[in-house]
Structure 1
Amino acid sequence: MSVYEARIDWRRGDQPFADKRYSRAHVWTFDGGAIVPASSAPASVPVPMSDPAGVDPEEAMVASLSSCHMLWFLAFAANAGLVVDHYVDEAGGQMGKDEAGRRYLAQVTLRPVTTFVGRQPDQAELDALHHQAHTHCEMAHSVKATITVEAAVG
């Protein structure tokens, strides 16, 4: 079984803590060496306690779902003999509340636009490739959010 690791590092420094107005900015360091500034979402904790320049957990989850989907899509497109030249996804997520009133990521919409060189898939083939990618994406299996794919050729 694969193991994935990340280090999450937050430091209070000299800021007060008991007043709950401390910074939520922190750093993610991944096992491959990538370092990402992170923070709570400004929609959850207002600025200046949140840093809008940092990646928040909600954005990271949407990006993870989109990235996983894309990687599977590229593999299946190559298997189908297609040449992908460019893939861009303006993915978005929406929070909802469960039966207990807890907020969760309820809906994720992937909007991939793919540019191909040579043979162009029709919409049915494109949709089938995206369906195949979705069914193989481990991240999609890991969440209870509804994931919708609105694919287009660019």
Structure 2
Amino acid sequence: MSAHKAIIEWQRESATFEYAEYNRNHHWHFDSITIEASSAPGYLGDAELVDPEEAFVASLSSCHMLTFLALASKKGFVVDSYKDKATGVLSKNEEGKLCMTHVTLRPQVVFSGERMPDEAAIARINELAHRECFIANSVKTKISIEAPAT
């Protein structure tokens, strides 16, 4: 078991605390870095900053990637690059509550070396990475993987 920490810090910058007036910008502190964040633009946030919905998608994508890389390495494949154009859908669930209902991962992986995986091997690694990703195992969101054919 391991513990993971984040410090989230917000300070009012508006004269009033009316819903349409107060600032949404805040900071996420992790170890030695700070990330400027805000709410999504649809919730009066700053579109230039990362929002919790984007961070949720990034967290799932990052965990999948790191698990994929570990599995590929253990199987003797060499990965040169990995890029994922992941998307998330915010909509109402069965109870009528807004939530991230679906995240689609689109990993594009470039391999090199003498041992190259075929499409079936890549699909198996993606499937296992999804099953082993502890962030994916922590959420109810439907997660799809659309890996392009090689």
Matches within 5 A, 1:18-57: 18=18, 20-30=20-30, 32-43=31-42, 45-46=43-44, 50-57=45-52
Give the structure 1 partner of residue 8 of structure 2.
8
Letter in 2 for 1:136: E
Structure 1 residue 33: deviation in Å? 1.4
Moved over 3 A (4+): none
Taking the aligned partners of 1:104 and 1:67, their CA distance within structure 2 comes to 20
- What residue in structure 2 maps to residue 134 of structure 1? 130
Amino acid at match of 2:13: G
Within 5 A, what are the aligned runs for 1:87-106? 87-106=82-101
* Match in the other structure for 2:146: 150
Offset at 1:19? 5.2
**1:22: Cα distance to partner?**
0.9
Instruction: Output one character per residue of 1:62-84: Cα deviation in whole Å (capped at 9) or x when no partner.
Output: 00000000001000000111100
Residue 34 of structure 1, CA deviation = 1.6
Q: Is the 8 A contact 2:82 2:108 kept in 1?
A: yes
1:23-70 CA-to-partner distances (Å, cap 9, x unmatched) read 10000001x212101000012x13xxx111111110000000000000
Deviation of 1:104 after TM superposition, in Å, equals 0.5
Q: 1:115·1:153 contact (CA, 8 Å) conserved in 2?
A: no
TM-score by structure 2 length? Answer: 0.93
Tell me the distance in 2 between the aligned counterparts of 1:111 and 1:18. 40
Match of 1:152, SS state, is: coil
> For the residues of structure 2 that align with 1:68 and 1:143, how far apart are their CA atoms?
13
Alpha-carbon distance in 1 for matches of 2:19, 2:146 = 44
How many pairs align?
149
Identity %: 47
Q: What secondary structure sits across from 1:95 in the alignment? A: strand
List runs of 5+ in structure 1 lacking aligned partners: none
